[in-house]
Structure 1
Amino acid sequence: MSRLIVRSQVWSTMSRDVVVTSRTAPARPGAPTVWSLDGVHAEPRTVAAWMQRHRAEIADALHRSGALLIRGFPRVTAAEKYESVIAAAFPQLRDYVGGTSPRTRLHGRIMTATETPPAWSIPLHQEMAYTSNGPHRVAFLCLTPATRGGLSLLGDMAAALESIPRDCRDEFERRGLRLRRSLPSRSSMVSKAGIQKTWQEVFDTDDSRQVDDISRRRGWHATWLDDDWLQLTQERMPAVRRHPVTDRLVWHNQAHFFAPACMIEWAARDGRTQDEKELREALATRPESLDNVLFGDGAPVPPEQAVAIARSLATLEVGVRLEKGDLLLIDNILTAHGRSSFEGPRRILVALADEPGWTVA
């Protein structure tokens, strides 16, 4: 990795100073720009003031490389402190209604990162790429690094666009995509193969009437099945999108993530033999209980296409180890993120944010 050492810069804030000790350029597409700081004594209010003052530089780094890793804020140790810090850089924090990953909301707009078990890896993906309401920024704070594994994975989605066969890309662009989700209730969640998230979690309510109302307003089709399951078909989305600032075209969908064949291959790759068995059984006997990705006209994406895309994206993974006090900021259009499996008490907080005035075509 090439390393560029710059003259230390000091910004006086409300208590201890924050000193930039080095800046490192990305070594390859998908890798983050890295700023190393001496912020070990900086209180959260000092960090927030520094972040606010350098919002333009942060945005510029994100638009150049898609991700920015800022090392050096170990005194930002709780959700409420993190909210004040990240809101200084990204004032328009937002909720996760409609999201697929299991999370816990801790304070305001701050949540845990995915609560999928440590034995699971997380494939590269752009947050909520299956909905028109996806965030523009994703921001992670590391409170406790994993003992082993647990790398944050990043991938350049402009490069992904070039790696996917042209005929496949053309078909996806022409037909568009829809995510169809099968969401159990709390009482029936144990019978769901794959990612287990209830409709109550997805919609942040126990009231099915509110679910119907939210679905209507967002253009989703909600069907209530037996045993209080919800089958939710979300809006038609483009497979390729254009960044509103950089004008770069990027691959922007999750066909590789939710197709049953990809879920099965994902479990096999992780060595989750019981999950793989349950997914295969569900696909054979209860396919309606599994999530799936459809073309815009309602036809399922062929399994071989989805698996080929998943394998292509896996070759783009760049691993980054987060240490205590590290902030990983991601442009959610340019860069996909994921996670390797891990051991130990890894604890990561996440915030999602929008940029005022952005329209992603």
Structure 2
Amino acid sequence: MQTAAEGQTDVWAPWVIAADGAGGPDRLAGQLAEAAGEEGLERLLTERKGILLRGFGITAQDLDGVLDLLLPNRLAYVHGNSPRTKVGGNVYTSTEYPQEFTISMHNEMSYAHQWPSRLAFYCERAATTGGATPVLDAALWLGSLDAEVREAFRDGVRYVQNLHDGYGLGKSWQATFETQERGEVEAFLAGAGADWTWKADGGLRVGQLRPATVRHPLTGTEVWFNQADQWHPAGLGDETAARLAAILAPDELPQSVTFADGSPIPAAYVEQIRDRGLENAVDVDWREGDLLLIDNVLLAHGRRPFTGSRRVLVAMSG
């Protein structure tokens, strides 16, 4: 069964597989296998970009088994920059960013040397109001940007993180890398091609040069694939950016971004990237028990503001 988001038919939306009958994990597995056919789930997901599994009555107790089907090799959120809590076997809260704010569009960990190829979101508890997860065709996002912006990012971007040692703004290096051992962090960063410096206060400064676009490994489709707008102060809004600028120098921010050569990215570029991403996104309005599986290269995602006690979990695989 395929539908567009909430009845729209003139725009792309995740493919919906709705429970045929009583639902449950076994029924979900059967319907998903039938939809995937002989070519398998990877090919189906590449074709559809996103799949919404709805009405199967999946509970938190069912989740590990279902995720074993959707994401056979779940990854830890190592070097992730978003605040979240680990709640199971490489299952995390989707974010703990304040609920009154929008989270702009992004492909998960596009700033890292390796990123997950696939994400699965699970709605344990829907918001009272709002709280949709917008999803966006990342090729459409690239095409929506002015040629001047695309050209400016041709050589990629440089990300910089200042990770504290347990107290400060942003995340600690211990939480970011899920370890207390400096040697493990250094080995990870060396393998990632990053540069780093241990600071006198025990914190860690990390720099990484990454591309602004990538091509999907199966389709060859070029997509916008960076988080410049989320790492740049202009992406935070004027008021928040001004508050940070009043207390921190640019090179002391928890995270920042420049062009590959170290030159500043104009605020107008950042605002265009952020705004056109959100304008072209399609909202997935959650119902409890829903699962959303997405290709993390072909689709970006975000979060709309909400009220209530929304709880959406996420897991990822290579």
Question: TM-score, normalization: structure 1?
Answer: 0.79
Aligned to 1:16: none
Asked if the contact 1:30–1:335 (Cα under 8 Å) also holds between the matched residues in 2, the reply is no
Q: Supply the distance in 2 between the matched residues of 1:101 and 1:57 (Cα, whole angstroms).
A: 32
- Matched residue of 2:2: which SS? strand
Structure 1 residue 123, shift from structure 2 partner: 0.5
Structure 1 residue 286, shift from structure 2 partner: 5.8
Q: Supply the distance in 1 between the matched residues of 2:66 and 2:28 (Cα, whole angstroms).
A: 6
Structure 1 residue 326, shift from structure 2 partner: 0.6
Structure 1 residue 279, shift from structure 2 partner: 2.2
Q: Supply the distance in 2 between the matched residues of 1:40 and 1:199 (Cα, whole angstroms).
A: 46
- Give CA deviations for 1:260-316 in whole Å, capped at 9, x if unaligned: 121235xx5xxxxxx455324235x46423411122233332333222222222221
- Give CA deviations for 1:125-154 in whole Å, capped at 9, x if unaligned: 000111220011111011100011101111
- Decide whether aligned partners of structure 1 residues 286 and 136 sit closer, same or farther in structure 2, where only a CA change above 3 A counts: closer
The equivalent position to 1:211 in structure 2, one of 182, 185, 202, is 185
Q: Supply the distance in 2 between the matched residues of 1:325 and 1:40 (Cα, whole angstroms).
A: 13
Structure 1 residue 25, shift from structure 2 partner: 4.5
Structure 1 residue 255, shift from structure 2 partner: 0.9
Asked if the contact 2:229–2:235 (Cα under 8 Å) also holds between the matched residues in 1, the reply is yes
The yes-or-no answer on 1:281 pairing with 2:246 is yes
Q: State the identity as a percent.
A: 35
- With 217-226 and 332-341 compared, the bigger mean Cα shift is at 217-226
Aligned to 2:232: 259
The equivalent position to 1:76 in structure 2, one of 52, 59, 67, is 59
The yes-or-no answer on 1:24 pairing with 2:3 is yes
- Give CA deviations for 1:107-126 in whole Å, capped at 9, x if unaligned: 22211111112122210000
The equivalent position to 1:326 in structure 2, one of 284, 290, 299, is 290
Q: Supply the distance in 1 between the matched residues of 2:22 and 2:90 (Cα, whole angstroms).
A: 25
Aligned to 1:63: 46
The equivalent position to 1:113 in structure 2, one of 68, 81, 94, is 94
- Give CA deviations for 1:30-55 in whole Å, capped at 9, x if unaligned: 5211121146452x355446545655
Question: TM-score, normalization: structure 2?
Answer: 0.89
Aligned to 1:164: 145
Q: Which amino acid aligns with 1:204?
A: E
- Higher RCO by CA contacts (8 Å cutoff, separation 6 or greater): 2
Q: Supply the distance in 2 between the matched residues of 1:264 and 1:28 (Cα, whole angstroms).
A: 32
Please report the RMSD computed on the Cα atoms of aligned residues, expressed in angstroms: 2.3
Q: Supply the distance in 2 between the matched residues of 1:113 and 1:119 (Cα, whole angstroms).
A: 15
- Decide whether aligned partners of structure 1 residues 58 and 330 sit closer, same or farther in structure 2, where only a CA change above 3 A counts: same
The equivalent position to 1:237 in structure 2, one of 200, 210, 214, is 210
Aligned to 1:147: 128
The equivalent position to 2:18 in structure 1, one of 16, 26, 36, is 36
Structure 1 residue 328, shift from structure 2 partner: 0.6
Which structure 2 residues correspond to residues 275-314 of structure 1 after superposition, within 5 A? 275=240, 278-282=243-247, 285=249, 287-314=251-278
Asked if the contact 1:138–1:329 (Cα under 8 Å) also holds between the matched residues in 2, the reply is yes
Count, aligned residues: 313
Dislocated runs of 4+, deviation >6 Å? none
Asked if the contact 2:179–2:185 (Cα under 8 Å) also holds between the matched residues in 1, the reply is yes
- Matched residue of 1:100: which SS? coil
Asked if the contact 1:51–1:85 (Cα under 8 Å) also holds between the matched residues in 2, the reply is no
- Give CA deviations for 1:76-112 in whole Å, capped at 9, x if unaligned: 323xx32221221332222211111112222222111
Q: Supply the distance in 2 between the matched residues of 1:28 and 1:158 (Cα, whole angstroms).
A: 18
